[in-house]
A = this chain, B = another copy of it.
Amino acid sequence: MTERFVVVGGDAAGMSAAATARRRRRRDDLEIVVFERSAHTSYAACGLPYLVGDVVHDPGALVARTPEAHRAAGIDVRTRCEVTAIDLDRRRVEVRDLPGERTVTEPFDRLCLAVGARPVRPPIPGIDADGVFGIQHLDDGVALRRAVDETGPRRAVIVGGGYIGIEMAEALVRRGLEVALVEALPAPMPTLDADMGALVADALAEIGVATYLAEPVRTFERDGDGRVAAVVTDRRRLPADLVVLGLGVRPDARLAAAAGIEVGPTGGVVTDERQQTSVPGVYAAGDCVETRHLVSGRPVAVALGTHANKQGRVVGINVTGGQATFPGVLGTAVAKLCGYEVARTGLTEREAGDLGLDVAATAVDDRTRAGYYPGAAPIRVKLVWEAAGGRLLGAQIVGQEGAAKRVDVLAACLWNRMTVDEIVSLDLGYAPPFSPVWDPVLTAARVAAGAREARVG
């Protein structure tokens, strides 16, 4: 008898689950149905800043696979269909045909929730004014780009100095706007320690972004037409033709919670390593779940396409009789701000301290290539480590070309619980166009090892 695998949500996680399952089971053996609220599948939300910045010219380029292509591959994709409830006892979902004309129920044998995240929208007066843009879905990016293309804005204010904030700063600087960035905390990139965040603040200044730190937004002022006119903090009023919100997202676990599926302390759906929820046969993947931070051991919700893809693959394997796991995350992230690069993995010094760990940190300033080789760019590498044993806990990098992806080596070191002393010996690739004779990662480890020896005495 044909089984039925139903996926709720047709972006990275959901379509990875569906496509992986499809490759592993024949059509007459497993029917796969995906319900997606929007008209799109498998689009790269991470690419939206580059669409707005006109680095990417065509929104279609951000769509990895259209609904038609998925259908041709044997996946029954139903766009503009919203799942409004899950009936766990009767193993079926309630589906509303948008714009809401018809509701039907659809049966499933196995289910995957991949409904994504919701943007954080604090109740600041005027936050819903025209001209205030979020940048979560493909349509948001298209709308913001159209606003830049067609309304000739001169001044933009970005609210929030995280990844999206700095990527949008680059995008709007590229488009010739006067850009201000407002952040409630004392440094941009709150996922970095303040000393490394300060380098990002310098980079923002360097590319001409006026940055206002430790200034929560109090109001979005509207003009007579209801359009946003200014962003107001305790200390200033910043006139704005458009505003971009980069305030982060939260897992969307409403559907799961309503069905009685366990939701964790982060607000994300709880799963085991096989991405199965508290209900057998019901899986979840992507921005709607929480996962385990492999250094702190704590649950975290990290909305990132790469995790969504991996978790979706794990679901696709497990619903088709295979065995795959997603052990958790390290919190690795990289971002580009014009010529600058920012990266982090693991715990910051502050996070490690908050967990009660006896933590030490060291930083080195180095170059991305041999000093005599053209294009050798500055890079600062900060390592956070356990003071006693020297175990690496986290790393942060700010630099220029060639800096950010060096974080991957440190992520692999963290994954394997290496100490800074062990990392010094690592056999990394060396040639003058690629690295100094000591790669900056190794120099950082060497300095940490030296500091540890000095502490231990």
Contacts and interface: CB of A to CB of B under 8 A. Distances in A.
A428 interface: yes
Contact of A333 (B412, B429, B438): B429
Contacts of A437: 12, 44, 46, 305-306, 309
A425 interface: yes
Contact of A411 (B47, B341, B427): B427
Contacts of A310: 424-425, 438, 442
A120 interface: no
Nearest to A63: B372
A68 B44 CA distance: 56
A415 B425 CA distance: 10
A59 B418 CA distance: 39
A408 B329 contact: no
A372 B431 contact: no
A437 B313 CA distance: 13
Interface residues of A, number: 71
17 contacts: A46-B432, A47-B370, A47-B372, A306-B427, A313-B446, A329-B427, A330-B427, A332-B428, A332-B429, A333-B429, A334-B429, A334-B431, A404-B434, A405-B434, A407-B429, A408-B441, A411-B429
Interface stretch (A106-114, A178-186, A263-271, A320-328): A320-328
A205 interface: no
Contacts of A341: 434
Contacts of A327: 425
Contacts of A230: none
A209 B8 CA distance: 55
A415 B426 contact: yes
Given A62-B372, A405-B405, 20 more contacts: A44-B432, A46-B430, A50-B372, A50-B373, A56-B372, A56-B373, A294-B427, A304-B430, A305-B430, A306-B437, A309-B437, A310-B425, A310-B442, A322-B453, A325-B425, A341-B434, A343-B429, A404-B429, A408-B439, A416-B418
Nearest 4 pairs between A and B by C-beta? A334-B429, A412-B412, A416-B416, A306-B430
A413 interface: yes
Contacts of A407: 429
A331 interface: yes
Interface in A157-212: 163, 167
A348 interface: no
A409 interface: yes
A55 interface: yes
Interface string A328-358: 0111111110000101010000000000000
A286 to B, nearest CB: 12
A437 B307 CA distance: 9
A122 interface: no
A282 to B, nearest CB: 22
B332 A427 contact: yes
A56 B329 CA distance: 42
Interface in A284-325: 294, 304-307, 309-310, 313, 322, 325
Nearest to A405: B434
Nearest to A23: B450
A400 interface: no
Given A61-B372, A306-B438, A372-B62, A426 B405 contact: no
Interface string A362-387: 00000000111110000000000000
